[in-house]
Structure 1
């Protein structure tokens, strides 16, 4: 089943359901950047008293169009419903009340606007109350602080993994560091496209992508694990310091220096400076 067929089925089924105050399609479809691999990201508005009934209705609606083989409900508020159909169409629904939706108080609702959502059902013309475009993109200071400190912490743990000869865990650690570097790059770009976890090339620049691709991917071998960690550190720290300076974030100097001394004690001349 193609995405368009599913979207038409949802619009027909829920267009006559009074318990659904509004239903919007966001994500890449809302932004007009969808492709054949895109999932369907919906936002539904309902009254507090109708919440459980609408959760059941949503599943019934999906099942009537295509059988569901995976279902997950993350209890809110807001509630997030994840479904995958038999033909592997991925569908998410945020279920929230109107006042909370329009308050733009938390992600992802702080990025919703008339230019990032498509109307499916809108009984009270909620769409007209949305801003025409999302606020200007800016790095998230708390996110950057977390990424910097977490990178230092995970980097220091390589002494434990290698010391115990847990080289598979060392590979995992390098992957965590790569993910943190990627998150830092996303904050650097100020890209308005903050979604798209499975479409990284839209959220970072070609130059950033080239840097990521150039970094080594280690096998569970001591030398390769260490080489990957040092290479990731050399790439991460100059960028992180520059972004921290730009945002007025106090650099965790004591933590970084303690981690350096810890790694120097553990690896001596094997440790490559960053």
Structure 2
């Protein structure tokens, strides 16, 4: 089975199902930005009366078209499902009703549309304003994780130090995404379509320092040097409060425990 076969199979099945009003293709393929590595994001629109029953039976329905070797409900209680086939085709299924379709018309493609749902969607969505709370939270979390560095170093726990570096890098990546103000959160594997080349290069550069005392400290300092100045700038732009007391405590803690001076 190819990805096109998978899409064609779901299209035919949705067209034949009386309780389904529409099948929309979302994600990068729906926006016309997909490539050979993109997964298939399907939005199944049911009538309100058929919604609960379809959610209950969505797995066997999907398995009759593209049998999964992995099936997972991504968020407990929400009808969003992730699947992988034996050919390692990846597809997501969201089950919703017409009034709850959150996408705009330019971000989805109609595969089946029995009740003209696509025509009733908003033409496009504006980029959201920069969230002051989100900027504050990312900065606070970066500093919290950074302050734990002496624990891993003091215990000679290099696995914990490596994990901490990964978490710091995640916060830097989250900050970069906030700067771009995406219309919707990007997929974990879609950063090349969102972040500028210099940010991608920086993330690659700080990806995996050696899990040693020197590597943990130098890696943390490199991440702090990349993160703190741009986080302050973004906080200023967003009108976000800066966790100055926490930053001061972290600076004093690292200086006292590791004889390390944070940049900036």
Among residues 261, 271, 274, which one is paired with 2:252 in the alignment?
Answer: 261
Among residues 237, 242, 259, which one is paired with 1:251 in the alignment?
Answer: 242
Q: How does 1:172-211 map to 2 (within 5 A)?
A: 172-192=163-183, 194-211=185-202
- 8 A Cα contact 1:189 1:205, kept in partner: no
Q: Distance between the aligned counterparts of 1:195 and 1:148, measured in 2?
A: 20
Q: Distance between the aligned counterparts of 2:62 and 2:25, measured in 1?
A: 15
Aligned partner of 1:44 in structure 2 is 44
- 1:57–1:121 CA distance, 2 compared to 1 (3 A): farther
What is the Cα deviation at residue 271 of structure 1? 3.8
Q: Distance between the aligned counterparts of 2:76 and 2:161, measured in 1?
A: 36
Q: How does 1:143-162 map to 2 (within 5 A)?
A: 143-162=134-153
Deviates further, 88-97 or 191-200: 191-200
Aligned partner of 1:93 in structure 2 is 93
Deviates further, 194-203 or 259-268: 194-203
What is the Cα deviation at residue 17 of structure 1? 1.1
2:209 aligned with 1:222: no
Structure 2 unpaired stretches of 5+: none
Q: Distance between the aligned counterparts of 2:65 and 2:44, measured in 1?
A: 18
Aligned partner of 1:163 in structure 2 is 154
- 1:203–1:193 CA distance, 2 compared to 1 (3 A): farther
Deviates further, 164-173 or 191-200: 191-200
Q: Distance between the aligned counterparts of 2:9 and 2:166, measured in 1?
A: 40
Deviates further, 52-61 or 256-265: 52-61
What is the Cα deviation at residue 76 of structure 1? 5.8
**Deviation sequence 1:24-63 (CA, Å, 0-9, x none):** 1100111101111111111222245423431354323432
Aligned partner of 1:212 in structure 2 is 203
What is the Cα deviation at residue 21 of structure 1? 2.2
Superposition TM-score, scaled by structure 1 size: 0.89
Superposition TM-score, scaled by structure 2 size: 0.92
**Deviation sequence 1:125-162 (CA, Å, 0-9, x none):** 12122111121344333322221111010000111111
- 8 A Cα contact 1:45 1:96, kept in partner: yes
2:1 aligned with 1:11: no
Aligned partner of 1:81 in structure 2 is 81
Aligned residue for 1:149, secondary structure, equals helix
What is the Cα deviation at residue 231 of structure 1? 0.6
What is the Cα deviation at residue 212 of structure 1? 2.2
Aligned partner of 1:273 in structure 2 is 263
Structure 1 unpaired stretches of 5+: 102-108
Aligned residue for 1:53, secondary structure, equals helix
Note the aligned Cα RMSD (angstroms): 2.0
Deviates further, 58-67 or 195-204: 58-67
- 8 A Cα contact 1:27 1:195, kept in partner: no
Deviates further, 113-122 or 58-67: 58-67
- 1:15–1:201 CA distance, 2 compared to 1 (3 A): same
